Amino acid sequence: MKRMCQGNLQAVHNRTISISTYAAGDDAVIVEGVLTDNRLVDTWLITTGEKMAPGVVHDLAVRLLVEGPSLCIRDVEVDMDQAPRDECTHTRNSLEPLIGQNIAPGFTRWVKEHLGGARGCTHLNALLIAMAPAALQGFWSARTSRRLDMRRATEGMAPEYLIDTCWVWRSEGPLASELRAAVRGEDREGGPLGEN
């Protein structure tokens, strides 16, 4: 890819996604995602021929209150500080069906099936899909910001949240075995875990 970007290329568009997680009590986090699309060149609207100057096209934020260990979404907020059309703001409430859903395997498919297409905003959904793995990472960071042994850290969590999500967490790998044992309350050899 690096060789593709060599030479005299002109940047025409930039999208940034930023996701931050905040502790919200003992077993909950607030996950905030921000998506910004910046048009870097003059463009013309295909419907009217009107010239559009470079600038921010989308400035969207989604905040989720996520409660663990099931990563259940308890509340959602959407801000649309910048959108290309006034009609876009009609999708502000399109993420409300998320309330009560768990961020778990199959979440991306659920978002596409229930919030995609004419039911919502493709940019909010893209942000939401990017936020899901960050929510797990943020929840885990908040939970393990307290000194806990593996059994207590994984208490109430299903191994499926991590297993087969990447090569390191592959089903037959050592980390998956350790996680399964911790969830069962055993050490690596199958004996009971001691308290730290």
Is pLDDT at 194 greater than 50 in this prediction? no
Kindly state the average pLDDT of the residues 126-141.
92
Task: Please state, in angstroms and rounded to a whole number, the distance separating the CA atoms of residues 17 and 60.
Answer: 10
Is pLDDT at 124 greater than 50 in this prediction? yes
In the chain, domain spans: 2-146, 150-196
Higher confidence at residue 105 or residue 115? 115
CB burial of residue 106 (10 Å; 0-12, 13-18, 19+): exposed
Contact in structure between 119 and 110 (CB atoms under 8 Å):
no
pLDDT, tens only, 152-175? 666 666 666 677 778 888 888 998
195: confidence class by pLDDT, cuts 50, 70, 90: very low
Average pLDDT, the chain: 85
Structure tokens at 58: 């989308």
Task: Please state, in angstroms and rounded to a whole number, the distance separating the CA atoms of residues 163 and 182.
Answer: 13
What was the pLDDT predicted at 34? 98
Contact in structure between 95 and 124 (CB atoms under 8 Å):
yes
Is pLDDT at 143 greater than 70 in this prediction? yes
pLDDT, tens only, 180-190? 887 777 655 55
Q: What pTM does this model have?
A: 0.80
Structure tokens at 175: 């980390």
